[in-house]
Structure 1
Amino acid sequence: MKKLIIYLSLFTFSFAGCKKIISIDTENADPQIVIEGKINDQLIDQQIKISKTIGYTEANVFPKVSGASVTVTDNKGNTYVFKEGTTPGTYINKMKGVPGVTYSLNVTAEGQTYTASSKMPNVVKMDSIGVIKNFFFGRERKTAAVFLKDPANETNFYHFNLYVNDILSERFYVNNDRLTNGNDLRLQLFFKPPTNDHDSDELNSNDKIRIEMECIDSNIFDYWYALSQQSNRGPNQGTTPANPTSNISNQALGYFSANTYEVLSATVK
């Protein structure tokens, strides 16, 4: 028995001596332009936001890009000039987008030009929103849900934002009608509070829920879908996160979307 203990000790020690220290290179990459823009079908101050990425070791503050030239044109011959507002890096024009029209973005910033285009889909309305009761291991859980009728004569893509007591869920919610074309849809949106928030991910009586729905084009669906795949993974699952494919040229990050917009609110009973 003593010999066995000695052999095991030597065996363990030999493996301990094989450890190798691996140095991970975390050098900062060159900053990249990030453009986030939406044109919707409401008469509001439409916004194009321009910022830059930061290095791995830098503080979580993204530099805003001022002094850019930002225009949006449509296939009807209209041009909209976006002016920088009081918030640096945010460019504004009060206008109303029209379903069926294609909008093209042109941004010149820091000597580089970036372009993108997006066609605003037809309007699809939510029928209602509500709460569905599910049972997990004998325990009831309430979940926000959207109810709508998907049109049968076209391909549709949807993006949703969920707020609970004015807190935006960290999940990304998207849907297409590839398998449900023309059906009555009931889409459940599971709430995910911010990671630094101590609020529960469960819905309780008297909670206020608000759901925004956007009808989006296929490129923007691909963008939000890629983000949803990453955000909905649990720890230690999947591959290393990557930037979703942007519809903006010249290797810019972000997106430019022409989409419809609707919002409904309800109270959990």
Structure 2
Amino acid sequence: MKKPLIYLFLLSFCFSSCKKIISVDTDNAPPQLVIEGKITDKLIDQQIKITKTVNYSDVNVFPKVSNATVKVTDSRGNNYVFAETSPGIYTNRMRGIAGVTYTLSVLAEGNNYSASSKMPNNVPLDSIGVINNSFFGNVRKTAAAYLVDPINETNFYHFNLYVNDILSQRFYVSNDRLTNGNQLRIQLFFKANNDNDSDELNTDDKIKVEMECIDSNIFDYWYALNEQSGRGPNQGTTPANPTSNISNNALGYFSAHTFQVLNVTVK
């Protein structure tokens, strides 16, 4: 009987020794600078927004960063100084040009940050519409963008979808790796702001689609956000900050892109 008793004792010891309290460290990280910059091919007040991250337990109200020095230069030798028009918002009225590389320089709180983006050629957004999809006998209306992808270049696209002036919470990106030179119909499934709002499109809803032709770095940024939103092919991806094209460990992005917008009403 001694031997079985010894085995029983060892077994119980193993189970008790496997118990371990795991403490998840949710210590707050130091704030990081966040830069969101866009240069489009429209003559408008181009905008660079600078904020800082907040602690894990704080309300999502991001501090604005004022008194920064913000400049943009282009590959043709032009310089643009961006003035702070409201806290953390820096603007300059200008128009970007396809094929030109734009470089952002920011001096904020004693640190320098930079990023570059080349504006691609514009690909016309031919039209937008609403199509019917059948899911297990139920019909769901879906917004769609129609365009013809050029055959002689590599293209990357980013879309924003608004329904009744509400921006969809999904991230929409596409490239032509498998569709180069084809006629494209890109479906844009709407995602409401919260669970109380409907994701369905209904008759008389107002649809607005914005299309941006972006460079490869910005495609990677939006694609990473799409993956982390749980809507990409690799659902379950561990959340992490998407790769930024801004130096010095800043978060965000700087994008030079073309811009188009079309509207339609759901029938």
**Same structural fold, with TM-score higher than 0.5 when normalized by the shorter chain:** yes
Residue 29 of structure 2 is aligned to residue 29 of structure 1: yes
Between the aligned partners of 1:253 and 1:218, the Cα distance in structure 2 is 17
- TM-score, normalised to structure 1, is 0.90
Between the aligned partners of 2:162 and 2:16, the Cα distance in structure 1 is 51
Between the aligned partners of 1:47 and 1:125, the Cα distance in structure 2 is 24
Tell me if structure 2 keeps the 8 A contact 1:160–1:174.
yes
Equivalent in the alignment of 1:190: 189
Equivalent in the alignment of 1:7: none
Structure 2 stretches of 5 or more lacking a match?
1-14
Q: How many residues align?
A: 252
Q: Are the structure 2 counterparts of residues 180 and 167 from structure 1 closer, same or farther at C-alpha, using a change threshold of 3 Å?
A: same
Mapping 1:170-181, distance limit 5 Å = 170-181=169-180
Equivalent in the alignment of 2:58: 58
- TM-score, normalised to structure 2, is 0.91
Equivalent in the alignment of 1:41: 41
Residue 127 of structure 2 is aligned to residue 158 of structure 1: no
Residue 228 of structure 2 is aligned to residue 227 of structure 1: no
What is the identity percentage for the equivalent residue pairs of Structure 1 and Structure 2? 73
**Tell me, what secondary structure is at the counterpart of 2:184?**
strand
Equivalent in the alignment of 2:83: 83
Tell me if structure 2 keeps the 8 A contact 1:171–1:232.
no
Q: Are the structure 2 counterparts of residues 18 and 96 from structure 1 closer, same or farther at C-alpha, using a change threshold of 3 Å?
A: same
Equivalent in the alignment of 2:137: 138
Tell me if structure 1 keeps the 8 A contact 2:170–2:231.
no
Between the aligned partners of 2:134 and 2:158, the Cα distance in structure 1 is 26
Equivalent in the alignment of 2:255: 257
Equivalent in the alignment of 2:236: 238
Structure 1 stretches of 5 or more lacking a match?
1-14
The letter of the residue matching 1:144 is: A
Q: CA deviation at 1:233?
A: 4.1
Equivalent in the alignment of 1:202: 200
Between the aligned partners of 1:233 and 1:211, the Cα distance in structure 2 is 19
Mapping 1:87-166, distance limit 5 Å = 87-166=86-165
Tell me if structure 1 keeps the 8 A contact 2:51–2:64.
yes
Tell me if structure 1 keeps the 8 A contact 2:230–2:236.
no
**Tell me, what secondary structure is at the counterpart of 2:227?**
helix
Q: CA deviation at 1:17?
A: 11
| Superimposed CA distance per residue, residues 92-135 of structure 1 (whole angstroms, 9 cap, x where no aligned partner) | 00000011100000000000000000000001111100011010
The letter of the residue matching 1:76 is: R
Between the aligned partners of 1:135 and 1:214, the Cα distance in structure 2 is 29
Equivalent in the alignment of 2:214: 216
Q: CA deviation at 1:22?
A: 2.4
Between the aligned partners of 1:20 and 1:35, the Cα distance in structure 2 is 42
Between the aligned partners of 2:132 and 2:57, the Cα distance in structure 1 is 44
**Tell me, what secondary structure is at the counterpart of 1:113?**
strand
The letter of the residue matching 2:74 is: D
Q: CA deviation at 1:238?
A: 1.2
Equivalent in the alignment of 2:74: 74
The letter of the residue matching 2:97 is: V
The letter of the residue matching 2:167 is: L
Tell me if structure 1 keeps the 8 A contact 2:230–2:237.
no
Q: CA deviation at 1:21?
A: 3.4
Q: CA deviation at 1:60?
A: 1.4
The letter of the residue matching 1:262 is: Q
Residue 166 of structure 2 is aligned to residue 167 of structure 1: yes
| Superimposed CA distance per residue, residues 26-45 of structure 1 (whole angstroms, 9 cap, x where no aligned partner) | 11101110000000000101
Between the aligned partners of 1:21 and 1:258, the Cα distance in structure 2 is 49
| Superimposed CA distance per residue, residues 165-194 of structure 1 (whole angstroms, 9 cap, x where no aligned partner) | 000000000000000000000000000011
Between the aligned partners of 1:153 and 1:193, the Cα distance in structure 2 is 37
The letter of the residue matching 1:216 is: I
